[in-house]
Amino acid sequence: MRETSFQPLTAATVLESAKAQIRRFGEAKTNVTDVARDLGVSHAALYRFYRSKSAMMDAIVQEAMDDEAHLAAHYIGADGPAAERLVAMLLDLHRRKRDRFVGDREIHDLYQRIVVDRPDMIATYAERITNLVADLIDEAVRRGEWHIDDTDVAARVVRDAVTVYVHPAFVAQLVTANAPVEAMLHATVTTLIRAFESSMRYGNMKEA
């Protein structure tokens, strides 16, 4: 109960209660009346902050996505070789997903549902991360570490190649199967980097 430790009702406190409900009972058994009861208000009060229940669910996942983007952004414009930073960035993104699956299962399940039900949200998120990768690649090219004629294509190659390590459904499967995920992610990224170091000419590939 949030009610006991009194807090003003805000979008953030509503989201906290919603997450708490989902963690206890799962998304399926979570209804806005229970979330409101947890906050000590009527369910209608929550519609001041979210115009629907699904907007609330979306916001929870959006928060997680923002967290991941922030985590990844940390490696842009930082010191050290681009190769090490790219590996670290993608490893971090993988670990965030894995940690959610292992330690915050119900939220992970919600995230996974959104991946299916909201391709638009996922596309926006994917583009955001891809742009961060593109920024890192651009730096490496400017610093002369890598030689790539089309850094946008290179960024999308990276994104597609590591999707399997960051997509909630695959992470769940790989972790469950006890696969050596980090080693494989490392091998994959190392391979891409080798190509970038050796110089990649993509020619005139048309945009997405």
| C-alpha to C-alpha distance for 35 and 66, rounded to whole angstroms | 23
From the list its own copies, DNA, none, partner contacted by residue 52 (C-beta under 5 to 8 A by kind): DNA
Please identify, using beta-carbon distances, which residue of 21 and 151 lies nearer to DNA: 21
**Per the structure block, which two tokens stand in for 199?**
């110089």
Alpha carbon 67 to its chain centroid, in Å, reads 7
> Does 48 participate in binding DNA (rule CB under 7 A)?
yes
> Does 31 participate in binding DNA (rule CB under 7 A)?
yes
CB of 35 to its own copies, least distance (A): 30
* 3 state DSSP class of 140: helix
> Does 102 participate in binding DNA (rule CB under 7 A)?
no
Asked if 137 and 51 count as a contact pair (C-beta separation under 8 A), the reply is no
Task: Calculate ∠ Cα 168-172-176, nearest 5°.
Answer: 170
From the list DNA, its own copies, none, partner contacted by residue 58 (C-beta under 5 to 8 A by kind): none
Stretch of residues binding DNA (CB under 7 A), selected from 23-31, 78-86, 109-117, 118-126: 23-31
Q: Residue 200 gets which letter from DSSP?
A: B
> Does 9 participate in binding DNA (rule CB under 7 A)?
yes
DSSP states along 19-62: HHHHHHHTTTT--HHHHHHHHTS-GGGGGGT-SSHHHHHHHHHH
Residue from the set 54, 124, 163, 173 that interacts with DNA by CB under 7 A? 54
> Does 206 participate in binding its own copies (rule CB under 8 A)?
yes
| C-alpha to C-alpha distance for 79 and 197, rounded to whole angstroms | 18
| C-alpha to C-alpha distance for 96 and 4, rounded to whole angstroms | 31
* Residues in region 148-187 near its own copies by CB under 8 A: 153-154, 156-157, 160-161, 163-165, 170, 173, 177, 179-180, 183-184, 187
Please identify, using beta-carbon distances, which residue of 73 and 164 lies nearer to its own copies: 164
Q: Which amino acid is at 192?
A: L
Contact residues: DNA, CB under 7 A: 8-9, 28, 30-33, 36, 40-45, 47-48, 51-54
Q: Which residues bind its own copies (CB under 8 A)?
A: 119, 123, 153-154, 156-157, 160-161, 163-165, 170, 173, 177, 179-180, 183-184, 187-188, 190-192, 194-200, 202, 205-208
